[in-house]
Amino acid sequence: MSSLYTIEDLEEWDKRIQEKAREFGLDCYPQQFEICDHNQMLSSMAYSGCRPIIRTGPYGKTYEKQKTSTTTASRGFPTR
């Protein structure tokens, strides 16, 4: 799997964003980055790693529904 960004790139951007946020008096939570491919992300979402769409349901059914919604959406993001 190749990626457009490395963990180091993401950490550098996180540092810049936190600095800008502090200028506005905002606090940030620590970030943890993981680079994964499309199927790994869908698997994580379906298994409960991050649940932006479906809150319940068996893993396989959830994974297939999210995979279908992302492949048919014009932007490639899950739709409701």
- pLDDT (tens, 9 = 90+) of the chain, 80 residues, equals 566 888 899 999 999 999 999 999 999 988 888 888 888 888 777 766 554 554 555 556 666 777 777 665 555 555 54
User: Would you state the pLDDT for residue 69?
Assistant: 73
Q: How far apart are CA 17 and CA 1, in angstroms?
A: 27
What letters, b where the CB count within 10 A reaches 16 and e where it falls short, cover 67-80?
Answer: bebbeeeeeeebee
- pTM (predicted TM-score): 0.47
